[in-house]
Amino acid sequence: MSAVVVVGTQWGDEGKGKVIDFLAREADMVVRHQGGNNAGHTVVVGEEEYKLHLIPSGILYGDKLCVIAAGVVVDPRVLFEEIDYLERRGIKTDRLRISSQAHLIMPYHARMDALSEDRLGVHKLGTTLRGIGPAYMDKAARVGLRVGDLLQPEFFAVRLKRVLDEKNRLFARAYDAEGFDFDEVLQTYLAYGEQMRPYVANTSVVINQAIDEGERVLFEGAQGTMLDIDHGTFPFVTSSHPVAGGACIGAGVGPTKIDQVYGVVKAYTSRVGDGPFPTELLNSVGSDIRDRGHEYGTTTGRPRRIGWLDSVVLRQAARVNGLTGIAVTRLDVLDGLAELKIAVAYRYRGEIIHEFPDSAEMLDLVEPEYETLPGWTQSINQARRLEDLPKEARAYLDRISELTGTSLVLVSVGRERTNTIPLKELY
């Protein structure tokens, strides 16, 4: 039995797609269990670059069963665009399964996302505007529509009518905005339902069966620990559970079935969207790292905010995820920097704190306490073993491992599959 959860330890975009792709080579199944098309996972295979938002990255191999589990919110338009995008590039998608329990992103969710961000003005969250928050709101309010509902057209029509009437009233009265035409939404979604039918399954059964039969199942986290609705920088978070426990809830798998939890750590920090970011670099060092790392959002194209590595964040991630190992990515982006800093603690009103603050207000006021390490001058892109790395790079990695209390399992030194240094048996 081998079930491995891969999570982001920071604010997303740590390189989960790359790490999953590397691990997926030896997996039988790859599962997305939370989030939706707010995610953007990039995988580079030789000359080819793939950007995936909804479909698990394992799809690129052709022989892995890929599952979109119950905890994901699915925008069918995006799903079929992604299926087309992959098929056009010669990637088969017949091994995709979608949970009948996954909630649907409806057109009114994206509109509500935009309207509420607009109304928040300077206090906006900087969402991806994909309707993620409003879709999870409807799920929690028990008025969401699910993939399985689409397969029962009469039932779907009745529920949609009730929900849409309410949404249209809300758009008109609270936002002075236009609503949606019932027949149009109904026809569009029923057509999606017919297209989706061959993929729909009871995915909790599918996943548990695979684990029980000793297959290797990989859980592909989206977003990152700091964007978790409970354990992140609330309210500047997403509306799902990117932490490892989210894999159990979202996939319908018990915690006793999980063997390993790997945290993906970008060798520095980035954040796209608003909210506190203690180690943010608002100077030329930050813009230099952004340029050399091409740090622009995979989903929205927004420039990512850049900062030094923050071990207070990583310790929070190690704790709330129960990490059994860390995979450090993008180490090569730091090539040529004279020195590197790591936040080891925060200073809050003159006092040193070592644990991640539990309030956004406090996080806004902390000053990082840095430790400085020497950088390296050579390019590390071609390193294939730890010994190929300059001693300064190895010292930086050792310090990350020490500060997080978690052992290194993999180091990534470039975008391609081959630019990877595995450090142990990963399953």
Q: Which of 333, 343, 345, 393 binds ligand GDP (CB under 6 A)?
A: 333
Q: Which stretch binds ligand GDP (CB under 6 A): 88-96, 129-137, 351-359, 413-421?
A: 413-421
Which secondary-structure segment (H or E) carries 67? strand 65-68
> Which of residues 298, 300, 381, 418 is near Mg ion by CB under 5 A?
298
13 near ligand GDP (CB under 6 A): yes
Residue 13 annotated among the catalytic residues of the structure: yes
Query: Which candidate in 21, 28, 33, 41 is catalytic?
Result: 41
Query: By CB under 5 A, what part of segment 9-38 binds Mg ion?
Result: 13
40/131 with CB nearer Mg ion: 40
- 3-state SS assignment for residue 348: strand
Distance CA 264, CA 18 (A): 10
Residue 104 to residues 37, 145, 204, 327, 354: CA-CA distances in angstroms? Answer: 12, 6, 18, 32, 41
DSSP string, 143-197: ---BGGGGGSHHHHHHHHHHHHHHHHHHHHHHH------HHHHHHHHHHHHHHHG
Residue 284 CB coordination number (10 Å): 9
Q: What is the CA radius of gyration of the chain?
A: 21
**CB of 192 closer than 8 Å to CB of 151:** no
Q: Give the pair of three-digit tokens for residue 134.
A: 């409003």
Task: Report d(CA 222, CA 246) in Å as an integer.
Answer: 10
Among residue numbers 38 through 77, which ones bind Mg ion (CB under 5 A)? 40
Q: Which of 240/401 has CB closer to ligand IMO? A: 240
In the shown chain, the binding pattern of residues 17 to 56 toward ligand GDP, with x for contact by CB under 6 A and - for none, equals xx---------------------xxx-x------------
Q: Residue 24 binds what, of Mg ion, ligand GDP, ligand IMO, none (CB under 5 to 8 Å, by partner type)? A: none
- Name the binder of 415 from ligand IMO, ligand GDP, Mg ion, none, CB < 5-8 A by kind: ligand GDP
Binds 18: which of ligand IMO, ligand GDP, Mg ion, none (CB < 5-8 Å by kind): ligand GDP
**Site membership for ligand GDP, residue 414 (CB under 6 A):** yes
| Partner from ligand IMO, ligand GDP, Mg ion, none binding residue 223, C-beta < 5-8 Å depending on class | ligand IMO
Shortest spacing between CB 299 and Mg ion, in angstroms = 7
Taking CA atoms, 247 is separated from 76, 112, 232, 292, in Å, by 22, 27, 16, 33
What residue ranges bind Mg ion (CB under 5 A)?
Answer: 13, 40, 298
